[in-house]
Amino acid sequence: MKKLSILILICFTNCISSPNINSVSGTKVSKTQNTKPVNIQKKQSKPSILEEDNITDSREEITKIDNKIYNIEDIEVAPEFPGGINKFYKFMNFNTKYPDEELNVKGEVFVTFVIEKDGLLTEIEVLSDAGYGTGTEAIRVLKKCPRWNPGKKDNEDVRVFYAATLPIN
């Protein structure tokens, strides 16, 4: 009786843990799907120092680390517009254009964006604006903005989240 129980347990375990493989043709057969059989090719092991899976995992981990977005408080060198923040505001004022009927609009546009490692601005969002297309215009001007000097952490360029209030006069 013990031998029969062990034999049933072994058969049950093999049925659950191994894929359905037709040993004659070498194709995988799915009992649940009405699809064509798929050829299975065994992976030949090659002697190597590093396993391919380990290399892929470490590259993905490095990519995840490299793509982290930092706050200004968490980095050593803050990103900077070429020439400083006053030049940034001058650039914004000089390049912002509104239709003539909206010249009397006054207020602020509050925007956030990410300064990438190469200095480009991405993920531009308008959190509040003064209406009359001021938010859309701020996005347009920020997209044509020259590259910033990127932020640095541990002497490496990093992505930095930035928030700015742009006055509209």
Per-residue confidence (pLDDT) for residue 168, from 0 to 100: 80
Neighbour order of strands in the sheet with 21-22: 21-22, 27-28, 38-39
**Into how many domains does the chain fold?**
2
Q: Which residues contact 81 (CB under 8 A, 6 or more apart)?
A: 87, 88, 91, 145, 146, 148, 149
What is the spatial distance between Cα 117 and Cα 115, in angstroms, rounded to a whole number?
7
73-77, 112-116, 133-137: range with lowest mean pLDDT = 133-137
Per-residue confidence (pLDDT) for residue 136, from 0 to 100: 93
CATH, residue 136: 3.30.2420
Per-residue confidence (pLDDT) for residue 98, from 0 to 100: 74
pTM above 0.75, yes or no: no
Residues 13 and 82 in one domain: no
Per-residue confidence (pLDDT) for residue 101, from 0 to 100: 58
Domain holding 24, by residue range, is 1-41
In a domain, 84, yes or no: yes
Per-residue confidence (pLDDT) for residue 8, from 0 to 100: 47
Residues 78 and 141 in one domain: yes
Residues 85 and 149 in one domain: yes
Tell me the per-residue pLDDT of 105-130, one tens digit each, with 9 for 90 and over.
Answer: 788 999 999 999 999 999 999 999 98
In a domain, 144, yes or no: yes
